Amino acid sequence: MQKTSTSSIFGWIMTLAIVVLLVMYYSNSQNQTIKNVTLTQNVPPVDPTRTVPSLTVPEGYTVVKNYQYQALGPGKDINGIKYIIPASMATGTNLATDTYISLEQIPMTASTTCSASLFTFQHVKPISRVDLGIKYSFASSSDAAAGNRYEESIYATPVNAMCVAVRYFIHYGSFSNYPKGVVKEFDKKALITAFDQIRRTLIVK
């Protein structure tokens, strides 16, 4: 009788262990599916039939066509298209709603070298960066005025006969200037990651 009781208990323990393992496996599978969905929802898939060059952005961004970057001074305007962040990304934070990512281009000649220096001030020196097999000329700069901060990053690469650049323009207020508890500091790392994902939709071939 004792042997039968022990066997029965052992059987129940084995059954319970199997059930627990199955639940854990199913839970992990569900979590992985959720993570994958979250990642792929950030930016729509690239359309291979899309006109080159162009970017794919998530819903909610405001598209400004026939945009011109004019910060370099008279006669140095750069044509492109601008995508302003959704207002919800800045709500309740020190991030300004005019923050954007843009796609700009400058015609190249036989003597022109595609460089980020074409899209920014002369004192900013570009460096080389490679991301997902694309070689970029990269430059970044920052400025401040009246409690505001302005940061720009430029990724330039040749596309056909054009020097094409993706510009990140980030405008925010100095967090220390806000009364305590009025706003929360925006997540710069998350914003740059979002812009990186958009930049990676650029078709260069």
DSSP one-letter code for 115? -
Tell me the CATH architecture of domain 62-199: 3-Layer(aba) Sandwich (3.40)
Q: Which residues, in sequence order, are CB contacts of 134 under 8 Å at separation 6+? A: 157, 202, 204
Q: What is the pLDDT of residue 194?
A: 96
Express each pLDDT in 73-126 by its tens digit. 999 999 999 999 999 999 999 999 999 999 999 998 888 899 999 999 878 899
Divide the 205 residues of the chain into consecutive groups of 10 and give the mean pLDDT of each group.
50 53 41 27 51 85 94 94 96 97 92 92 91 95 93 95 96 93 95 96 82
DSSP one-letter code for 95? B
User: DSSP characters for 19-66?
Assistant: HHHHHHHHHHHHHHHHHHHHHHTSSPPP-TTSPSS-----TTPEEEEE
Q: Give yes or no for a contact between 61 and 86, defined as CB atoms under 8 angstroms apart.
A: yes
Q: Give yes or no for a contact between 78 and 69, defined as CB atoms under 8 angstroms apart.
A: yes
Angle 136-138-140 (CA atoms, 0-180°, nearest 5)?
160
User: Longest Cα pair distance anywhere in the chain, in angstroms?
Assistant: 99
Provide the residue ranges of all domains of the chain, joining segments of one domain with +. Answer: 1-41, 62-199
